[in-house]
């Protein structure tokens, strides 16, 4: 493979990076087109199919809710094949994808606190995959550890206990070295947990509760998704639930939106061109109180729940959710509707923080000599335990991004439990980041302190940067929760 041209890896110029493993490009068979460039001149595959898609030309699809194949006394059974499929991202252009049930955005699983979910996943791809429930409190055997994969043709059953509070989670592939390409090609979907406390609030529900997966893509002239981890900043087409700059017809009333950044590399900074964003939730659940925000920033893997009240907008108005890159979704107010929803002044209280007994330091850095991404100078090794934590204890992790020289953004994602952001460079979090988190932005040169209580399950989990092109190039490490010995 000839990759002698200067590459950018995670937005970073890297000369002579021929040693880069081609990440997942060797496996994902549905639409492999990376690796055929680098000779200069025009590569037809990399020519963007429709650089100028007319904004607000297509409707925002809402992923279907997956129906259980069996409803038991205290658990629901779902079946979900992973397979190749085709979708229409650009109007009139067929795009091969990999998807849960073959869908570019997988079906939404709606779970209930206290009712377990059994998820039977059949791998219909020609290479390994697996499923990680991102943000889920799940035993290690069901967490989708990177080395715990589903062989081609095999079926695997994941058991999710759903013991945690109502939250907007998501599920995605986490197969080692494949996760970036797999997620990019479509192996992502929502997993929403509800509970009594949330439902008692009376927030907008049903058709007025809309999950929106935001991400980007580079679409080739033949309609294929071009995956090139060495050119991660060149994914100009921003998608909402798999469509470029769609519209959603709304009534002049209150809506709840669950926003997820499913990108590999893009950071969203979301605003409304009119009206007010009210943030009500973070990664792991609802905030103690709604907070009016001028912007919602989401790094890859993060979620935010917002309420937008269109009641003040005349019929005929278009309210645009926009990113610094341009429009993301246009909400077209097309009529009025009765609104029996509420937005209470108080939502779900946050418990007091217990006292931490252990502090750890993690340094995230790019190593130009190895062309690798590291944590504390080391790349991921599945046989090594990097942090041994005693079940039930509370720890503070100080996570520093050392990549000021190359100005590389990272974020930090911890499996097993939700944490709380204590501060970033000593500054307490804004209200919109002060709730339960499992993924947090760590900008270049900054240090975040997060606090977690590791109670419940023993065994091995990973923690990593959730820019998947960084984690699959080493920026991942292993946590083992152990019971205290006498």
Binding site for Cu ion (CB under 5 A): 410, 465, 467, 470
Which residues, other chains included, contact 96 with Cβ-Cβ below 8 Å and sequence gap of 6+? 30, 31, 84, 85, 86, 223, 224, 225
Task: Name the 3-class secondary structure at 433.
Answer: helix
Residue number with CB closer to Cu ion (12 or 219): 12
Residue pair 306/296 in contact (Cβ under 8 Å)? The answer is yes
What secondary structure does DSSP assign to 361-412, as a single string? EEEEEEETTTTEEEETTB---TT--SEEEETT-EEEEEEEE-TTTTT--EEE
CB of residue 297 to Cu ion, shortest distance in Å: 16
| CA 289 and chain centroid, separation | 24
Q: Which phi and psi angles does 413 have, rounded to 5°?
A: -125, 130
Residue number with CB closer to Cu ion (104 or 373): 373
Which residues, other chains included, contact 383 with Cβ-Cβ below 8 Å and sequence gap of 6+? none
Residue number with CB closer to Cu ion (219 or 362): 362
Task: Name the 3-class secondary structure at 478.
Answer: strand
CB of residue 439 to Cu ion, shortest distance in Å: 11
Residue number with CB closer to Cu ion (13 or 65): 13
Residue number with CB closer to Cu ion (190 or 467): 467
Residue number with CB closer to Cu ion (254 or 441): 441
CB of residue 477 to Cu ion, shortest distance in Å: 13
Residue pair 214/261 in contact (Cβ under 8 Å)? The answer is yes
CB of residue 208 to Cu ion, shortest distance in Å: 35
The CA-CA-CA angle for residues 212, 310, 295, to 5°, reads: 55
CB of residue 144 to Cu ion, shortest distance in Å: 20
CB of residue 322 to Cu ion, shortest distance in Å: 25
CB of residue 218 to Cu ion, shortest distance in Å: 20
- 111 beta partners: 193
Residues counted in the chain: 486
Residue 27 corresponds to which tokens in the numbers above? 């496996």
Residue number with CB closer to Cu ion (17 or 125): 17
CB of residue 470 to Cu ion, shortest distance in Å: 3
- 427 beta partners: 424
- 372 beta partners: 367
Residue number with CB closer to Cu ion (7 or 248): 7
């Amino acid at each position: 493979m000839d990759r002698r041209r200067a590459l950018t890896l995670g937005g970073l110029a890297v000369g002579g990076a021929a040693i880069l493993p081609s990440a997942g490009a060797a496996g994902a068979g549905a639409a492999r087109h990376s690796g055929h460039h680098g000779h200069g001149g025009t590569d037809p595959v990399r020519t963007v199919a429709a650089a100028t898609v007319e904004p607000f030309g297509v409707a925002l699809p809402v992923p279907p809710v997956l129906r259980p194949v069996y409803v038991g006394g205290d658990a629901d059974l779902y079946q979900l094949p992973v397979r190749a499929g085709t979708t229409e991202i650009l109007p009139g252009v067929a795009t091969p994808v990999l998807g849960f049930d073959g869908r570019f955005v997988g079906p939404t699983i709606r779970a209930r606190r206290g009712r377990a979910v059994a998820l039977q996943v059949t791998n219909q791809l020609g290479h390994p995959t697996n499923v990680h429930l991102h943000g889920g409190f799940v035993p290690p055997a069901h967490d989708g550890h990177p080395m715990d994969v589903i062989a081609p043709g095999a079926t695997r059953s994941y058991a999710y206990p759903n013991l945690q509070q109502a939250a907007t989670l998501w599920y995605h592939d986490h197969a080692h070295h494949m996760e970036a390409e797999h997620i990019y090609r479509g192996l992502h979907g929502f997993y929403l947990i509800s509970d009594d406390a949330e439902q008692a609030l009376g927030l907008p529900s049903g058709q007025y509760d809309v999950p929106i997966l935001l991400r980007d893509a580079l679409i080739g002239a033949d309609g294929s998704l071009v995956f090139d981890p060495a050119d991660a900043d060149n994914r100009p087409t921003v998608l909402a639930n798999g469509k470029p700059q769609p519209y959603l017809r709304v009534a002049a009333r209150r809506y709840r939106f669950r926003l997820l950044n499913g990108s590999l590399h893009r950071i969203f900074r979301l605003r409304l061109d009119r009206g007010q964003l009210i943030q009500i939730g973070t990664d792991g659940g609802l905030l103690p109180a709604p907070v009016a925000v001028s912007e919602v920033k989401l790094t890859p893997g993060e979620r935010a729940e917002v309420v937008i009240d269109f009641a003040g907008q005349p019929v005929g108005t278009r309210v645009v959710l926009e990113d610094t890159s341009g429009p993301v979704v246009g909400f077209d107010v097309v009529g009025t509707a009765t609104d029996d929803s509420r937005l209470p002044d108080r939502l779900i209280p946050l418990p007091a923080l217990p006292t931490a007994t252990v502090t750890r330091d993690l340094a995230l850095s790019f190593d130009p000599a190895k062309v690798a991404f590291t944590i504390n100078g080391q790349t991921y090794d599945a046989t090594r335990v990097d942090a041994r934590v005693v079940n039930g204890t509370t720890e503070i992790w100080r996570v520093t991004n050392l990549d000021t020289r190359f100005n590389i953004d990272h974020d930090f994602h911890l499996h097993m439990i939700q944490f709380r952001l204590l501060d970033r460079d000593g500054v307490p979090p804004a209200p919109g980041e002060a709730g339960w988190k499992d993924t947090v932005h760590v900008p270049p040169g900054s240090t975040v302190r997060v606090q977690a209580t590791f109670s419940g399950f023993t065994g091995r989990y990973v923690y990593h940067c959730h820019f998947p092109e960084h984690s699959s190039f080493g920026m991942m490490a292993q946590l083992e929760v152990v019971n205290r010995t006498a």
